[in-house]
């Protein structure tokens, strides 16, 4: 959890609409978050991330020159410790999955509240993942049966984005991973499994270490691609 002694996250905002960038910058700076740069397209975002080394990039999906999904892939390839939050006005399932598969740590609609936007930046900066409950639920219920064709905009590649061997997990860890894939928080996991939240955090940390997962977003992708979570499951 972020505390007052933690350094403010350094953020780059990438969006092709200047008014959107200005609005986000004003919101974040008013809440003590350091906006170190802006970009008007995906290529500019990649260059800004390389030059400025931000902690978090707020990335629009639909941009000229290079879209946000490709920009996210390139930024995370060059700066694995960076966190990317995808922003869009389009509440579409295939964009959600493609963003997570690209390595994004979060996904927000552009009508997010000011408080939620700032909280999201702090959250992913601590290494957690941001998945709105409604988005996660629909991802679980509809992705496998509603995935777009390979040629559709934002469609996921046929090659799994996160492939890991689950044999290293204990039965309890597999259960925890399955529930994470369904969108449960640590508190919800503790209640579901009748465990303390500290014990749940230990299980989650071991799962991430064994499967070399960067955060909860990758855990959700993995749960789909290994069949631990199925539509309606």
CA dist 137 and 65 (Å) reads 32
Confidence grade of residue 197 (pLDDT, cut at 50, 70, 90): confident
The model's pLDDT over 129-182, given as tens digits with 9 standing for 90+, comes to 666 555 655 655 555 444 444 444 444 444 445 556 788 899 999 999 988 887
pLDDT at 151: 43
pLDDT at 11: 96
User: Which H helix or E strand runs over 155?
Assistant: none
The model's pLDDT over 167-184, given as tens digits with 9 standing for 90+, comes to 889 999 999 998 888 777
pLDDT at 212: 83
Please say if the pLDDT value at position 107 is more than 90: no
pLDDT at 91: 61
CA dist 192 and 33 (Å) reads 35
CA dist 48 and 39 (Å) reads 7
Q: Which residues contact 122 (CB under 8 A, 6 or more apart)?
A: 2, 9, 33
Return the exposure string of 6-19: e unless at least 16 CB atoms fall within 10 Å of the residue's CB, then b. eebbbbbbbbbeee
Please say if the pLDDT value at position 44 is more than 50: yes
Please say if the pLDDT value at position 15 is more than 90: yes
pLDDT at 27: 94
Helix and strand numbers (H, E) in the chain are 10, 6
Please say if the pLDDT value at position 231 is more than 80: no
CA dist 160 and 95 (Å) reads 16
Please say if the pLDDT value at position 74 is more than 60: yes
């Amino acid at each position: 959890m972020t505390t007052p002694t933690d350094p403010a996250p350094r953020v780059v905002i990438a969006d092709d609409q200047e008014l959107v960038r200005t609005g986000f910058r004003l919101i974040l700076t008013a809440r003590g978050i350091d906006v170190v740069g802006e970009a008007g397209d995906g290529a500019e975002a990649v260059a800004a991330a390389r030059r400025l080394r931000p902690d978090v990039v707020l990335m629009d999906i639909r941009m000229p020159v290079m879209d946000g999904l490709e920009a996210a892939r390139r930024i995370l390839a060059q700066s694995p410790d960076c966190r990317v939050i995808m922003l869009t006005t389009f509440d579409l399932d295939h964009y959600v999955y493609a963003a997570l598969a690209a390595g994004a740590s979060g996904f927000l609609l552009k009508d997010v509240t000011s408080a939620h936007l700032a909280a999201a930046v702090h959250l992913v900066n601590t290494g957690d993942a941001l998945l709105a409950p409604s988005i996660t639920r629909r991802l679980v219920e509809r992705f496998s049966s509603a995935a777009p064709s390979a040629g559709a905009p934002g469609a996921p590649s046929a090659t799994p984005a996160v492939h890991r061997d689950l044999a290293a997990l204990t039965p309890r860890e597999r259960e925890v991973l399955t529930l994470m894939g369904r969108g449960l928080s640590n508190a919800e996991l503790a209640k579901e499994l009748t465990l303390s939240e500290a014990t749940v955090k230990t299980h989650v940390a071991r799962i991430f270490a064994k499967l070399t997962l960067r955060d909860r977003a990758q855990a959700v992708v993995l749960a789909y691609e290994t069949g631990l979570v199925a539509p309606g499951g």
